Chain A
Amino acid sequence: MIKKILIANRGEIAVRIIRACREMGIGTVAVYSETDREALHTKLADEAVCIGASAPSESYLRMDNILSATIITGADAIHPGFGFLSENSRFAGLCEKCNITFIGPPSEVIAKLGNKQEARRTMKAAGVPVIPGSSEPVTDWREGAKIALEVGYPVIVKAVMGGGGKGMRVARSPEEFENSFQTAKAEAENAFGDGSMYIERFIEHPRHIEFQILADSYGNVIHLGERDCSVQRNHQKMIEESPCVALTEELRREMGTAAVKAAKAAGYVNAGTVEFLLEKTGRFYFMEMNTRIQVEHPVTEWVTGIDLVKEQIRIASGKALSCRQDQVRLSGHAIECRINAENPKEGFRPSPGVITDMYLPGGKGIRIDSAIYSGCTIPPYYDSMIAKLIVWAKNRSEAVCKMQSALGEVIIEGIDTNVDYQYEILNHPDYIAGNVDVDFIDHM
């Protein structure tokens, strides 16, 4: 029985989780860094424990401090939120050892899905389509060229140790391959000291489509439809919506079935997300599985009517899923805009500071998940997302209008935000037409 949950996170997601607990009559323990003494999550929780200095590595990432806080306050479960320790299999493992319920999948499942190659192998074996590519690292371009031919052009050469777009090159034809491979390899050697590369089919202008999964400890797995998260800047999602206009009922069923299969293959328990790339042709490929609650979960909540955080807690308490797949209905259309403390005019530079005044919209079909309040401080140490504005309407065009209207009402003073930038996107003809892919922002 879960009576008290420690929320190992901050900001809006911590507040979101505390709210679910309050509604469920579960006690809450907030943890906070020295900077977050006055933060909303610290104040809203029943109890709060300071776990260290401002830098995440000294507080929200300090497993030992968080475990100590859990034991001291007598909490019996930890909700990790997203980011920080949420996908850290070692942390989940430590919770298991301390007989603390980790609200998420078992540690070994996190570990398995966190290893890209292993996750790929698991999915391939389960019959979930994966992006064709090399299964082992390649260091010689000739060997790479052979694989590229098998995979089919265009291909992308990616550093095994890669990240931040370094050590990545596209080759559109066999003639280009050697040059692309060698350039990417040299870059990887420079940046990571390791020139091992993967070769994958390059998927051109895909949509980023993800399926929300729920799985209980009794082997029941359902999906709650998709989210289209194609509007991204630098691989950071900006706008998410559900459902996706590009999915037919049939494709939704096909992808949903694949997502359920993926979760089953991994032995998944709790809420998770299976990410796919979707080609214009309707072909889709497994990318990765996120083993946590997602930032964009509210859009799914709204079109399905299911409270995902409560469902997470129910599953972690050993309850069976509260509904079957055939009871899941997607109704209407939901859109979420992430509001970040950043300045789009200065290369999206983070804009920490004090919110001197603010006014946020409301009314029918408007939801705001946030931890900001008038006079609160946005510290420079953490993610710059400060609020999520979510709207729901009967159909997409009404939802877009509602979002345009709502964004136009937002007032946040004292810091810079991306609200105007989001407003521009919402008024872009391609966005209005639902004609987006992951390169949309780049070409806007």
Chain B
Amino acid sequence: MKLDHVFKKTTHDIPGTFGARRDRLPEVPEGLLKKCNKCGRAIIAEEAKKAGYICPRCGGYFRLHAYRRIERLADEGTFEEWDTDLETVNPLELKGYLEKIAALQEKTRLHEAVVTGCLQIDGRKAVVAVCDGRFMMASMGAVVGEKITRAVERATAERLPVIIFACSGGARMQEGIVSLMQMAKTSAALKRHSDAGLLYISVLTDPTTGGVTASFAMLGDIILAEPKALIGFAGPRVIEQTIGKKLPEGFQSSEFLLEHGFIDGILTRDAMKETLSKLLTLHSAFDSKGPVDGKESAEEPADTNASDPVSEDGDPADLIWNRVLTSRMMERPVGPDYIEALFTDFVELHGDRYYADDPAIVGGVARFHGQPVTVICQAKGKNTQENIARNFGMPSPDGYRKALRLMKQAEKFHRPVICFVDTPGAFCGIEAEERGEGEAIARNLYEMSCLKTPILSIVIGEGGSGGALAMAVADEVWMLENSIYSILSPEGFASILWKDGKRAKEAAAIMKLTADDLYRLGIVEKVFEEPSPYTAKTMSGVIAKLDGQIAQFLALYGQKSAAQLTEHRYMRFRNM
């Protein structure tokens, strides 16, 4: 049955008689509704505000005014603003420029395009600079450069961390070459701050482009970004015009940068304060109380002569081959399982800052018994799908470069490094060669040998060749009972030596790749017994042992000077 235009209207027949005449007609008062500038839909302004200036319809992030951002970040009443009296200069003597600045000051009630000062986040003091896009698109002229530089210098002098929220169209054209020089000036100030061993967190917001991207924005020890922000050097329109091509969807977005290894992570607004607070605490002074309270004596020494869980009789080649297969079992705990079980407050940091973020390597900052550490693992997946995403734990050059970047960061902040090795080998492919897999591995061996902080590497599954060694130039290397560590996979070994990959079992028998063999050879310091079957569910016993031993390791090596550490590490390999 169709109901179109079948019902008779009644409204014109009976006069409306209800209520007194109203003097005001229904209308939406000014400011109640807003149009989202991302999705174009109408939204209730109050709702967007409550959500942290995020569109409730499309999840798009609106630009935050500088003071609002500070308000959301600072402990109440702790923000102290600095340098509000610098005067905008007009080096090009542009007509109307200073008038425009004055008008903007009037309109925005901002002094210039950046607000600087110090504040406390959960009681931790930090220096902060926040760009405000309402003021000349937060472009960097002399005042912006000067304010940031002064803030960073003061942070260096007072030994405080710096957090900069970048949002900018780039260097300010109106101030010409003087603006360009601000890039060098701010970068130089940050270099001194970094050389003083201090933390700089850069938070990129929509949009961060041009000379700001090419200076202070990209220099953070840790670089975070808000979701879907436009971040790039040249603006997308300029690129399109130059190359005469349409840019792909998502080009120059935060997500694009994460994938390309240039930022450590994407941070939603509601997680901003908590994460920054966590990072500040992880980078604040930690008083090591030496050997961790009573733990070491309670722990059994590691099973350096692990008894074989497989029956002793039978063909030794079978037993060894069994271990090879066990080391590769998909059910075995993977790197992230160890991070989860042994550490707290883990914050994953992404990217090599050159080309990509390699999912085959997971690393970041965490705490071990309260002590900040850098933890890096080669990460296999728990199922086929995860394994495809993680490239079966075979790192690309980007992965090794990320690992090295995190190790260098650990060195700067005097954090020990703990590595979990589990890889069939470095990724073997065209792209890997193009980007220098060999160079990346070599660089790690080279740099790790003299890293001025303790390094511990634990082989938890497969220790495949150079790909494994690139995370195992350590003060001590430990192995799990059924893990293996070798020059090459038995398959590869057989194929090179005997031109027959099928003789892998035979090869394994002579390669001395088991934990037991390697312990006897003095290649590794400790071996840890495993339950059978060994899975994420049955790993608690191993974790307890590791926990005790890592605590002892940190206590022992934590006391050594940088020179002692590097000498010890040098000699460890010198003698092999």
Contacts and interface: CB of A to CB of B under 8 A. Distances in A.
Which of the four size classes fits the interface of chain A? Answer: 35 or more
Contacts of A3: 16
B50 to A, nearest CB: 10
Interface string A90-104: 000010011110000
A1 interface: yes
B32 interface: yes
A97 B45 CA distance: 13
Given A23-B10, A43-B6, A64-B42, A99 B25 contact: yes
A325 interface: no
A98 B24 CA distance: 10
A64 B7 contact: no
B13 A43 contact: no
A129 interface: no
Interface in B1-41: 1, 3-4, 6-7, 9-11, 13-22, 24-29, 32-33
Given A70-B26, A75-B26, A25 B15 contact: yes
B19 A319 contact: yes
Contact of A25 (B13, B19, B27, B33): B13
B18 A26 contact: yes
A2 B7 contact: no
A114 interface: no
A98 B28 contact: yes
B9 to A, nearest CB: 6
A98 B32 contact: yes
Interface string A1-15: 111000000000000
A38 B10 contact: no
Interface string B50-68: 0000000000000000000
A1 B14 contact: no
Contacts of A319: 18-19
A40 B19 CA distance: 29
Contact of A317 (B15, B19, B32): B19
Nearest to B11: A27
Contact of B4 (A2, A43, A313): A43
Contacts of A98: 26-29, 32
Given A97-B29, A313-B18, A64 B1 contact: no
Interface residues of B, number: 29
Contacts of A316: 19
Interface in A75-94: 75-76, 94
B1 A26 contact: no
Given A27-B11, A98-B28, A317 B4 contact: no
Contacts of B11: 22, 25-28, 46
A44 B7 contact: yes
A22 B4 contact: no
A65 B57 CA distance: 12
A63 B28 contact: no
B56 to A, nearest CB: 9
Contacts of B44: 63-64, 94
B13 A373 contact: no
Nearest to A43: B3
A125 interface: no
A38 B18 contact: no
30 contacts: A1-B16, A1-B20, A2-B18, A22-B11, A24-B14, A25-B10, A25-B11, A25-B13, A25-B15, A25-B17, A26-B11, A27-B11, A27-B16, A44-B3, A44-B7, A46-B9, A46-B11, A64-B44, A67-B33, A76-B22, A76-B25, A94-B32, A94-B44, A98-B32, A99-B24, A99-B25, A316-B19, A317-B19, A318-B19, A376-B1
Interface of A: 1-3, 22-28, 38, 40, 43-44, 46, 63-65, 67-68, 70-71, 74-76, 94, 97-100, 313-314, 316-319, 373-376
Given A24-B16, A63-B44, A64-B43, 10 more contacts: A25-B10, A25-B17, A38-B3, A64-B44, A65-B42, A67-B28, A75-B26, A94-B44, A98-B32, A99-B22
Give the top 3 A-B pairs by smallest Cβ distance, nearest first. Answer: A317-B19, A25-B14, A43-B3
